[in-house]
Chains A and B, each alone.
Chain A
Amino acid sequence: MAQPDSSSLAEVLDRVLDKGVVVDAYARISLVGIEILTVEARVVVASVDTFLHYAEEIAKIEQAELTAGAEAAPTPEA
């Protein structure tokens, strides 16, 4: 039976450079507070192509954690 080939550099470049999870440089080098992280996920698998913004919900979770405990995440000035 046919077997896929994984050695094509063009195919590798197409995927590795253009696709996959992207994390902005600032979030990779700074310890940022969760409340300023923004997460956008396009759900490609679902039948409806939905663009979800997680940021608001994350903010809510963070708010709950802050209220519950004494977590002081450093917040860089915008």
Chain B
Amino acid sequence: MSNKLYTYGIVEQEGLELDVEGVGGAESIYTVDYRALSAVVSDIDTTDPERTDDAVEAHNDVLQRVLEYDGGRTIVPMSFGMAFKNGRTLKGVLRGAQRALRSTLNDIDSTVELGVKVIDSGEDETAEEIAQAGMTDRLSEASINETENDLFSDRLIVNKSYLVDREHRDEFDAAIDTIRSAHDDVTVQYTGPWPPYNFVDIHIGTDQQRGGR
């Protein structure tokens, strides 16, 4: 019998059980505890799940479900594919990384990530100048932190992720409206709420593997 566990993210210790489609055909998710931490997991039959679009969406759907569950939860998201051999190996890693995980949970407490892309949809050359003249100032004011992502196209004039306190979601939404109404020649792609992917950076390895790098 397989007792492998696919992990989606880490929350403050809490028993959660939800019926939601998971990675690898799972029909429900639950939590595995280590002290003050709980890993959100589902059963899976492999430690190397296939990286299909459906699987990636299932991973994200579970995280968004937990993120918005019953008034909202703070969750440290795992990258795709973090399946463990069993509960013992998972708990071993939670134990080894508990300081970093707890400190991260504390840093992102009560927050979600929101994505903003502004695309120049007109012929007007001044769009970029407008963007640089403080279009996103109100977004910065309504958020705790932000990261600048790659401007992979000339038409993309803003590509940022914002860390926003749940209590300031309305302010942030309103700031998006302001940008949309003030600038006819741009398209604003507003996405989320995401678990704070761009504000979590934790890598857990072993000395054995570090030696080989």
Q: Which of B1-49 contact A (CB under 8 A)?
A: 9-10, 47-48
Are B108's CB and A28's CB within 8 A? no
Docked complex Cα distance between A23 and B9 (Å): 12
**Does B191 reach chain A (CB closer than 8 Å)?**
yes
Are B51's CB and A17's CB within 8 A? yes
Are B99's CB and A58's CB within 8 A? yes
**Does A69 reach chain B (CB closer than 8 Å)?**
no
Which of B9, B47, B56 interacts with A13 by CB under 8 Å? B56
Residue of A nearest to B53 (CB): A9
Docked complex Cα distance between A30 and B204 (Å): 13
Question: Given A9-B53, A29-B84, do A45 and B108 touch, yes or no (CB 8 Å)?
Answer: yes
Docked complex Cα distance between A3 and B191 (Å): 8
| A20 contacts across to B, CB distance below 8 A | 9, 77-80, 195, 197, 200
| B108 contacts across to A, CB distance below 8 A | 45
Residue of A nearest to B114 (CB): A4
| A32 contacts across to B, CB distance below 8 A | 92, 206
| A63 contacts across to B, CB distance below 8 A | none
Are A28's CB and B84's CB within 8 A? yes
Are A39's CB and B194's CB within 8 A? no
Docked complex Cα distance between A21 and B201 (Å): 6
| A46 contacts across to B, CB distance below 8 A | 107
**Does B118 reach chain A (CB closer than 8 Å)?**
no
For residue A50, give the distance in angstroms from its CB to the closest CB of chain B.
11
Docked complex Cα distance between A18 and B80 (Å): 8
Are A28's CB and B211's CB within 8 A? no
Which of A5, A11, A26, A43 interacts with B209 by CB under 8 Å? A26
Docked complex Cα distance between A27 and B108 (Å): 25
Are B88's CB and A31's CB within 8 A? yes
Which of B51, B80, B205 interacts with A27 by CB under 8 Å? B205
Are A15's CB and B96's CB within 8 A? no
For residue B175, give the distance in angstroms from its CB to the closest CB of chain A.
9
Are A6's CB and B170's CB within 8 A? no
Q: Which of A13-65 contact B (CB under 8 A)?
A: 13, 15-32, 34, 36-46, 52, 54-55, 57-58
Are B206's CB and A24's CB within 8 A? yes
Docked complex Cα distance between A40 and B96 (Å): 11
Docked complex Cα distance between A31 and B206 (Å): 11
Question: Given A29-B47, A29-B89, A31-B88, do A19 and B207 touch, yes or no (CB 8 Å)?
Answer: no
Are A15's CB and B204's CB within 8 A? no
| B202 contacts across to A, CB distance below 8 A | 21-22, 39-42
Docked complex Cα distance between A27 and B93 (Å): 7
Are B192's CB and A12's CB within 8 A? no
